[in-house]
Structure formats: structure tokens, C-alpha cells
Structure 1
């Protein structure tokens, strides 16, 4: 994250160890051999294995595993709470690098990629396409995000229905801060589209530990409300309540069949993505 150029940072993270974000297990006329099966009326005769016929005097179809290209839409929370920082980096900075790396990976694999930014006044949308120029435009849009205001109101969620009709992978990057369940209303909307949904919750370590050295007054970045607390006295109860809250959200998302993973801004991005891809591949196999 010391690399300020998003395209270079994404390439650095991805190259050398990331692969297979959406390797399919369906059968088709690919290059990687999978198995033989008996010929059935209506099968493509070009798939017949004549060598097997010569040896067995029976017709067999040679099947292969193929890679499927999909459409990936990245949804980024640009409400004011994403401006929260711990040290040199804000949550929105981590979100930028996370999305840039996954977009770079998707583009390498021939996937169409799109971007939706949820901000106070509505939704910025960038349709999914597959080409390097489109990837460069996506990087530019990520760089220009300026979090402000509250999360997008549900009235704007209808814009999400304008995507492609085929099944998509939707990757939502957010801190999951909401006032009236608006984020879970969004996730319910995404579920009605029958797409695969992944939620990355971005948190700062000082949020998790209530470790703000020298501060006793705290301001809600979205509402402007301020409170006074003694960190040392409040820390134990705060951490217990936060842990309970995070577990409740995790269970809610799992009940909706949504993949959930929390990332902290001090966590190395390459390791976080490697763990995510490995776990995702295990779930799909």
C-alpha cells in the first residue's frame, strides 16, 4: 500500500501467486481433460474420441473442464465512515487497493468488471466490460472516490437491476455502518437478483481495540454526533459488545447465503486475498 499508483499496486499484489478466482467445474470442450462418458443421441459428433472407438468398438465422448468468464461487479461504500483512519491509511484506501487487485485479477482471467460506488447522493455506476482500457478507467474512478455523507438510500437500489441478466459475482466492500438497516436492505436486493454475493467488511485496528491514544471525545463521521468516554474504563464492555455485534452480522449474512470476511487495515493485503481465494475455492469444490 506504499505504492500510490493503483494499477502498479494491483499488479504487484496479484502477479506470481493469485489465480483461479472463478475456475469452473462444469464440463465442456475445454483443453483440460476430465473424463469419458458414453455417447448419447444429440451429442456433438466432434467430441467423439475415435481412438477409444478403435480400441473398444464403442462410442465415447471426451469431456474437459473449462474456465468460464463471468461478470464481476464491485460495490464500494463511500459514506463518510470510510474516512476513518488508523495511522497513515484510511478504510477507503484499503478498499481501493482491495478492489483494484481483484479487478486486475478478474481482467487477467477475461472477466467483465464493473464498479458501483454508494455515496450520499445516490449510486455511481460503471457498466461491466472486459478490456484493459476499461480497467484503467475503473482504477481512475477508484482513485477519485471521496467518502462523505451517509450510505445511499434504498430508493436508489433499483439502479442495480440494470446489470446483465446472467449470473454475476457481486463483491461489496464496506464497513457495515448503518443507521436504519439500509445496508441489509441492499443485500436483500442483491439476493433477489440471484447473484453470488461476497461482503468484505473493512475495519481499523483502533476501532476493534478502542485504542485512540490521547482522545476522550469521539465524533460519528456520518451524523456528527459526539460523545465523551474514558477509554480505559469503557474498553472491556466496548470490545464485548462489538464482538457480539460482529458475530450477529456474520450470522445474518450466512443466513442469506452471503460469503463474509472481515479485513483490518493493518492486515497485509496479499495474505488477505490469498486466504480469501483459497477458502472460496474450497467452498466451490
Structure 2
């Protein structure tokens, strides 16, 4: 599908109507599906799911197959009652770059768009925002009123960072895994960066989610140019730790190779563990369009029985 769903991240905050933007984003995405390899989802995604190899062929919709060349199964009422929990990291590092609040703006609009799609599918959705603790946890409902409230909650996280200066991603994921009573779809938007979290604690928390039999989709949100490529002009900078306020002055070339190696290893380890736990790991760059996020969600939703 051609990538067309681009929105200026700074404009998301200025516009101050996340609900409108999310609904426009979803409308544009579904329209774009008609010209894509995913054609068929645009009409059928709320009433059908992808056929799973080995199950009965009794409920295959052959009319849809004739139109799309894809095998869909009719979804019945009990199958539409998916419960989805969207977790959005609102720790200080998510408000980087500070000029645009880029990572949180990207995550909030993506989460809002997915919530809109869930409600269109008559699925129940709840929102969790977290930093060093659970900041907000809404009920899980499928009503239009609930969706409106949830989108207002997401709008509020764009206004200013939380006062906390720490991140406890692993602790929060453990809490959520324990609280969710039955098999659900859990979608996480986070950079997975936490001063107090080492990789082993993060991996243990993600494994806990899967141990509870939840389907998990992790969007690893980064500003690729600076946070991965460390692409800064060669001049002195003062780098500030957003959590501690600690400052260090240096030339980018002094640490670039070491930094790139460390962040690359972290991503590789995260992707490997997610693969082992059968968690969908989706790296996303905030400079790219939103298509990748919505496609990944839609494919995952179609596979969930």
C-alpha cells in the first residue's frame, strides 16, 4: 500500500482535536486499502477474520474470496467481543524531540486511530497510560461515549509531560498482566527506555503477558535519525538526560559509534525475545507515515479468533 498517511507531529498538538484527526486517519487508511494488497479488509474487516489453517472450512465466505482472493471466515457475535487494552508510555523520554513532543504525538494519534477502528469493529477497548506507575486506566468498553472519553484522555497527554522523572515499564506491564482477567489483545506504544529497567526485567514482564495467554503487539517508537543513527551536526552539544536532568557536553563523534552499537544491540535483543515469546514486535520511526501501525494492527486483529 502506498504510504500516504503523513501528519506533521507538531500540528497534532496545535490542532487540539485528536478525535477528528484519528477518524480522518482511519478514513484515509481504509480508502487506501482499496488500492493495496490488503484490499478486502476495507469492507470485510469488521465482519470477517482471516482463515486459520486447519480449522473447519464450513464458515468460509466464498463471495469475499472471489472478490479479494483471500480466505476469510465469517465472524460471529461471540468472536467480535474482543477486549483490547492499549498501553501508552507517557514517561519523559516519550516527549522527545522536545520541539514537537514527537514520540508521544505519534503514539497518541496511532492509539486513537486504533481505538476508532476497534469501536467500528464493535470491539471493547481500554486505555492505560503509564510512566513510573499506572497514571490512567480506563474501563474496557465498546460504546461511542466511552471512545470519546478515551480520545479526550489521549488528547490530554499531549499537553505536557508528566511530573515524574522515572520510568518503570516492566513494573507496569507486570501489573497489567496480573489485572487483565481473560485473554485480550494488548497493544503497547513505548520506546522501552527506562533508567531503572534492565533488559532482563523488561523481558520478564513481556513474558508475563504471554504467560497470561494475551495476544501482544509492541510498537517500539523511536526518532530514528537521532535516537538510532545519532545524526547530529559535528559541533559541541549539551546532552540532557530527560529523567535526571544530568548534562554532558561533548562532540557527537566522541560517542557515536559506541552509542549506535549499544542501541542496535538493545533493539536486536528486544526483537529476539519478542520473537521467542510470539509477541509482534513492530519498530516504528516517528518520521514515517502511520500506515505501518494501522496495517500491523489490522493484520493482527484478523488473526485473533
Q: Kindly tell me: are residues 142 and 243 of structure 1, through their superposed partners in 2, closer, same or farther at Cα, counting changes over 3 Å? A: same
* Higher-helix-fraction structure: 2
Mapped pair 1:163 → 2:192: no
Mapped pair 1:206 → 2:215: no
Aligned position for 1:98? 110
- Report the structure number with the largest CA radius of gyration: 1
TM-score by length of 1: 0.77
Q: Secondary structure at the match of 2:128?
A: strand
Mapped pair 1:108 → 2:108: no
TM-score by length of 2: 0.72
Say which is worse superposed, 237-246 or 131-140, in terms of deviation. Answer: 237-246
What is the CA RMSD across the aligned residues, in angstroms?
3.2
Where does structure 2 lack aligned partners over 5 or more consecutive residues? 1-6, 31-41, 64-72
Q: What whole-Å deviation, never above 9, does each CA across 1:123-170 have from its counterpart, x for those lacking one?
A: 4211110011100111111112234422237666435433342x2100
Q: Shift of residue 216 of structure 1?
A: 1.8
**Aligned partners of 1:85 and 1:128: how far apart in 2?**
31
> Is the 2:221–2:283 Cα contact (8 Å) retained in structure 1?
yes
Q: What whole-Å deviation, never above 9, does each CA across 1:234-272 have from its counterpart, x for those lacking one?
A: 323432332222112111111111110111111111x22
Say which is worse superposed, 220-229 or 6-15, in terms of deviation. Answer: 220-229
**Aligned partners of 2:277 and 2:253: how far apart in 1?**
37
Mapped pair 1:253 → 2:265: no
Q: Kindly tell me: are residues 90 and 153 of structure 1, through their superposed partners in 2, closer, same or farther at Cα, counting changes over 3 Å? A: closer
Number of positions where the alignment pairs a residue of Structure 1 with one of Structure 2: 255
Mapped pair 1:264 → 2:285: yes
Mapped pair 1:216 → 2:241: no
Q: Kindly tell me: are residues 10 and 219 of structure 1, through their superposed partners in 2, closer, same or farther at Cα, counting changes over 3 Å? A: same
Q: How does 1:1-285 map to 2 (within 5 A)?
A: 1=7, 2-3=11-12, 4=15, 5-18=17-30, 19=42, 20=45, 23=49, 25=51, 32=61, 65-66=74-75, 68-69=79-80, 70-85=82-97, 88-145=100-157, 146-147=161-162, 148-152=164-168, 157-158=174-175, 160-165=177-182, 167-178=183-194, 179-181=196-198, 182-204=201-223, 205-213=225-233, 216-269=237-290, 271-277=291-297, 280=300
